[in-house]
Structure 1
Amino acid sequence: MSAFVTEPAHETPVLGEWEVVVLGGGPSGLAAATAAARAGRSTLLVEKNGYLGGAGTGGGLSTFCGMYSNVHGEHVLTVRGHATELLERIDRLGGLRAPHRSFADRIQAQAYDIPAYRRAADEHVLAAGAQLLYHAFAVGASSDESTVDGIVVESKSGRGILRAKVVIDCSGDGDLLAWTKTSHEKADPHGEMLFPSTMFRINAVDGERAGPAWKILPRMMDEAVAAGRPKFPRRGAIVRPQRDDLEWRANATQLRNPDGTAIDGTDVWQLTRGEVQGREQAQEVFEFIRGNVPGFERAYIVDIGPEIGIRETRRLLGKYVLTEDDVRSCATFDDSIGLNGWPVEAHVDGDLDIRWPYGDDPVGCNQLPYRMLVPADGPSNLLVAGRCASMTHGGQSAARVAGPCFAMGQAAGTAAHLALKGDAVVANVDVPRLRTELESEGAWLSV
């Protein structure tokens, strides 16, 4: 039997033309679309799901990491601009809990209600003047050696092309990088990627009796394994209350192939295995929590993330590649377009490895250079933002979280606007002008 089937040639309809088309509606994508539209550019945001938020909604994450930095011991909101406006929208919907501290109280994070985030994200993007296209799955790109002029999508309406003058890849998986043969890499030098997780939420918790359960659960799990219980999917389970103490989120799973490698988010068979495995692991960990942690006796799983949380796949090889050393040395750059204060959070085999900035009193955040959004080769009108931007495995282990992705997205959308003022070549953007535009919109580029 032949390994291929030749399909008949056909004409693919053009569904519309925009100045800027953004692929992917996670933090970087919704920020990019908002920035480009506010600058007056006709903008389309394309998302495969029926809502925005990426892993923060579809993956059930329910926490913004990387919005705050530990600056010389003080917890400071360092990702500002459009991201803080979005937080205000979520807050007006009653969807925020006071920020909490994680990882031995060394860094601050922000829990939120997922439905409120979904609604606020719709409002945020549409108020800027951008268009949304939901339920459209990108499957290819229309491009030549120098430019990409459109994205090919499939939907319930059929197949079509979305034309653009500037395209921003916020897909997370760097899909446009693969389709346009733009230089990129995947995994660390040994072929290892960060392990994905399935998030789940627990309801009917007695918050008063549970107390700071997040401090005792990891120890209880270690003691159970030492006493002979089979190993859990990973050490270092994270449980925290959500908007209300009766509902808690759990980050306690780790998804792998039979050979022990991480599930690859670009392989549909592995994704399928991960979805089934994640739900199985969620139930396993929950049964232990309910049976052993005070306050959880009447609890039940109220939701399991609709899709597994992928942390790493393709990463751009750009004009600059952000490294783990850049993160830990709190590097500064002349072309800074935002900040990252999250530590290296490496989800390694069976465990979680947190690596902090060097020194006893670090500034607590690194700057993000514009060059990490700009391909070293490939289409001249392509920008890349979010977890598929130009970072090493170690650098991406920190700057893949929501806060820096918001910052990268706002910068990419603004840069697209500036590129369109000239020749639409993103590498030719006037970076001082870009920085001025970002600061005028409230972004912090340094501390």
Structure 2
Amino acid sequence: MTSAPGEPGLQPPKVTLPARDLPVRSHADVVVAGGGPAGFCAAVAAARSGAHAVLVERAPFLGGTATGAMVASFMGFYWRDLRVGGGIGYEVTRRLIEAGGATGFGPYVLAEAGENPAKVRTFPFDPEILKIVLDELCGEAGVEVLLHTQAVEPMLRDGALTGVILQGIDGAEAVPAHVVVDATANATLVRRAGCATQNSPDQRRERQPMTMMARLSAVDVQRFRSLPRQEKRALARRGVESGELALQLLSMVGSPAGEDGFVMVTRVSGLDGSDSRDLTRAEVEGRRQVRAAVGFLRREVPGFERAYLSALAPWIGVRETWRIAGDYVLTEQDVMSGRQFPDAIAQGGGPLDVHDGNGAGLILKEPPAPFSVPYRCLLPRELDGTLVAGRCASATQTAMGAMRHMGTAMATGHAAGTAAALAVEHGASPRDLPAEELAGLLIDQGAIVRSPLLDGRKSTSGGIDDCQQ
């Protein structure tokens, strides 16, 4: 029996390309690959710390999941009512409010129509305003931003990354750098440099499902929010039974404008979000599911009678692809015990959020306290000159379910960018940096590195019925 093209076990035919010289148009202290929540924070942090930072993004705008996948609500900044996210990520929320793209943090019930909802604090925002805010943020910091450009290969020498090969519209070029930050979400550069991964290639189609987000206009947001939870559950079950909803959720985040809703009602399983062919199938299937769901919402769900589809996310949201094997692998036990590490660079608040890749299930667990992310999770094992940030960091699948929230991802990016600039200043590898010096810098920059509970602060948590979607 033979494997299909792209399946493990089959060696596809190869074509040898002639060697060629690439132009070097710029040098950098720090190159950041990927302009999502982790990447833009890394680039801004590096630039503010005095490094010449180049930020590379394949899309025509920054923001990644927040803008391109249209996941228009930040999570991970709070554990219960206690803020655990600060630094550049929190600054972004303040700028969004000033720009009229958000009103602030508020209570939200995650998976209210599901079997195990979780009360959280979220920050709804307008993705279009966020694009502009990030342009301004990077411009003020002096980041050299390259949009419409993809980081395709690492430059390697003696087991260390020394730069990145970029592919732009007008051709390829090389950018040498002292430190490379891989914030591609897929660990593209460090994997190609030989870094081992925490998850197996044989299980790449058993990962968490993908979601296509949609923006609906003319929604009576308050009417929908006022529906009792049990009615929402009954409606969600009816949608799944009719085949018009792909999962038993009626998740919607209202826009700051008041009459738009960002809905998460799709689930695309069994495909690899780091494989272009699988991702093509996922995009098409996601749009098909949105069309079916909109019909159901308009017909069955109070508040959506006049709603219409005003925008589809530019690309499907991917929860999980590759996670590196780093100097430390964060575990579910670490998260669910609220473990605090001596080399902590960020705090997370959860919840632990894992979607079943083969069914309709969803695991939601609240950690008993904030948990910390150690610096070692950002260091690819046996590879120098580089750091990772965001959802490709070193963690198990379940631990990443709590760590991948955008507030926490931004915190890892801020830490990676500051560490990269510090490595440039010291002429050292990121692995050799003193953890205490890095933590001190992050704290000076407004990041929350140590658990606020250790400062004697208290927290409270109300019931599910105290807040609504």
TM-score normalised by length of structure 2:
0.88
Distance 1:398 1:91, change over 3 A: same
Structure 2 contact 74–123 (Cα < 8 Å) conserved: yes
Structure 1 position 115 matched with structure 2 position 128: yes
2:277 counterpart residue number: 269
Find the aligned partners of 2:239 and 2:71 in 1 and give their Cα distance: 27
The corresponding residue for 2:65 is: 55
The answer for the alignment partner of 2:430 in structure 1 is 426
Matches within 5 A, 1:376-387: 376-378=381-383, 380-387=384-391
Amino acid at match of 1:47: E
Q: Quick one: distance in 2 between partners of 1:201 and 1:214?
A: 23
Match for residue 6 of structure 1 among 5, 10, 16: 16
SS at match of 2:309: strand
1:96 matched residue in structure 2:
102
The amino acid that maps onto 2:109 is S
Pair 1:311 & 2:325 matched: no
| CA distance, structure 2, for counterparts of residue 105 and residue 6 of structure 1 | 53
- The reply to whether residue 323 of structure 1 matches residue 361 of structure 2 is no
CA positional deviation for 1:189: 9.2
Give deviations 1:347-374, integer Å, cap 9, x for gaps: 113324233246xxx32x2111111111
Whole-angstrom CA distance in 1 between matches of 2:316 and 2:188: 18
Structure-2 separation of matches of 1:324 and 1:180: 28
Give yes or no for contact 1:278–1:308 (8 Å, CA) kept in 2: yes
1:187 to 1:403, Cα distance in 2 relative to 1, 3 A: farther
The residue number in structure 2 matching 1:350 is 359
| Conservation of the 8 A alpha-carbon contact between 1:198 and 1:308 | yes
Q: Which of 218, 235, 238 is equivalent to 1:220?
A: 235
Q: How far did residue 106 of structure 1 move?
A: 1.8
1:195-274 matches, cutoff 5 A: 195-212=209-226, 215=229, 216-225=231-240, 229-230=242-243, 232-256=245-269, 261=270, 263-274=271-282
1:225-277 CA distance string (max 9 Å, x none):
5xx52373122231121113310011111113xxxx2x211111101000100
Question: Once the two structures are aligned, what percentage of the paired residues are identical?
Answer: 33
CA distance in 2, matches of 1:85, 1:237: 30
1:164 aligns with 2:164: no
Output the aligned Cα RMSD. Answer: 1.9
Q: Which runs of 5 or more residues in structure 2 are unaligned?
A: 1-11, 111-116, 453-469
1:92 corresponds to which letter in structure 2? Answer: E
- Segment of structure 1 superposing worse, 433-442 or 184-193: 184-193
Worse-superposed segment, 142-151 or 303-312:
142-151
Residue identity in the other structure for 1:202: L
TM-superposed CA distance for 1:178, in Å, is 1.7
Give me the whole-angstrom Cα distance separating, in 1, the residues matched to 2:182 and 2:228.
36
Aligned to 1:78: 84
Q: Is the 8 A contact 2:118 2:365 kept in 1?
A: no
Runs of 4+ in 1 over 6 A off after TM superposition: none
Give the deviation of 1:224 after TM superposition: 5.0
Name the SS of the counterpart of 1:49 in structure 2. coil
Unaligned runs of 5+ in 1: none
Report the secondary structure of 2:90's partner residue. Answer: helix
Is residue 369 of structure 2 the alignment partner of residue 369 of structure 1?
Answer: no
Aligned equivalent of 2:113? none
Name which of structure 1's ranges 200-209 and 125-134 shifts more when overlaid on structure 2.
200-209
Measured in 1, the distance between the counterparts of 2:227 and 2:215 equals 15
Residue 175 of structure 1 deviates from its aligned partner by 0.3
Task: Name the structure 1 match of 2:398.
Answer: 394
Distance 1:336 1:77 in 2: 16
Q: Give the distance between the partners of 1:189 and 1:334, measured in 2 at CA.
A: 35
Choose 143-152 or 205-214, whichever is displaced more.
205-214
Of residues 32, 47, 69, the one that matches 2:79 is 69
* In 1: Cα distance, 2:346 partner to 2:272 partner: 29
- Separation (CA, whole Å) in 2 of partners of 1:307 and 1:187: 25
Q: Does residue 183 of structure 1 match 2:196?
A: yes
Matched, 1:405 2:409: yes
Instruction: Tell me if structure 2 keeps the 8 A contact 1:328–1:343.
Output: no
2: CA distance between counterparts of 1:312 and 1:221?
A: 25
SS of equivalent to 1:351 = coil
Return the letter of the residue paired with 1:180. A
Give the number of aligned pairs.
Answer: 430
Deviation at 1:342, TM superposition (A): 1.4
Partner of 2:8: none
The equivalent of 1:138 in structure 2 is 151
- Contact 1:319–1:376 at 8 Å: present in 2 too? yes
1:303-334, Cα deviation, whole Å (9 max, x unpaired) = 11100111111111111111111111111111
Give CA deviations for 1:358-397 in whole Å, capped at 9, x if unaligned. Answer: 6xxx32x21111111112212x111011000111111111
Is the contact between residue 214 and residue 238 of structure 1 (CA under 8 Å) also seen in structure 2?
Answer: no
TM-score (norm. length: structure 1)? 0.92
CA deviation map 1:64-91 (0-9, x unaligned): 1111111xxxx12210111121111111
